[in-house]
Amino acid sequence: MGLQETRIESLPFVTAELNYLAPTAGKPRTYAFDPPPGEPKSTALPEPHQVPIFDARLIANNFSLDREGFALVRHPTQVKDFYNDEEVRAVYYPAVEVFLRAMLKADRVVVFDHTVRRRVEGAADIRGSGPRQPATRVHVDQTAVSGANRVREHLPDEAEELLKGRVQVINLWRPIRGPLRDSPLAMADGTTVKPDDLVASDLIYPNRRGETYSVTYNPNHRWFYFPEMTPDEALLLKCYDSATDGRTRFGPHTAFIDPTTPADAPPRESIEMRTLVFHKQ
pLDDT in tens, 24-38: 989 999 998 889 999
The neighbour count for residue 131, using CB atoms within 10 Å, is 18
Return the pLDDT at 208: 87
Confidence at 256, pLDDT banded by 50, 70, 90: very high
If you count them, how many residues does the chain have? 281
Return the pLDDT at 130: 67
Return the pLDDT at 195: 97
Question: Which residues, in sequence order, are CB contacts of 179 under 8 Å at separation 6+?
Answer: 228, 229, 230
Return the pLDDT at 207: 87
Which of 76, 79, 103 minimizes the C-alpha distance to 90? 79
| Whether residue 275 has pLDDT greater than 80 | yes
Confidence at 4, pLDDT banded by 50, 70, 90: low
| Whether residue 125 has pLDDT greater than 80 | no
The CATH number, out of the four listed (3.30.300, 2.60.120, 3.10.620, 1.10.3470), of the domain defined by the range 21-279: 2.60.120
Rounded CA separation 216/162 (Å): 32
Question: Which residues, in sequence order, are CB contacts of 245 under 8 Å at separation 6+?
Answer: none
Rounded CA separation 280/31 (Å): 36
Return the pLDDT at 126: 67
Reported as a single tens digit per residue, the pLDDT across 126-155 is 666 668 889 999 999 999 999 999 999 999
Reported as a single tens digit per residue, the pLDDT across 171-212 is 999 999 999 999 999 999 999 999 999 999 999 988 889 999
Mean pLDDT of the chain: 94
Return the pLDDT at 1: 46
Rounded CA separation 272/170 (Å): 10
Q: Which stretch of DSSP H or E encloses residue 204?
A: strand 198-204
Where do runs of H (alpha helix) occur along the chain?
A: 85-87, 93-103, 144-154, 159-162
Reported as a single tens digit per residue, the pLDDT across 7-30 is 888 899 999 999 999 999 899 999
| Whether residue 233 has pLDDT greater than 50 | yes
Q: Number of helices (H) and strands (E), helices first, in the chain?
A: 4, 14
pTM: 0.94
Rounded CA separation 40/37 (Å): 8
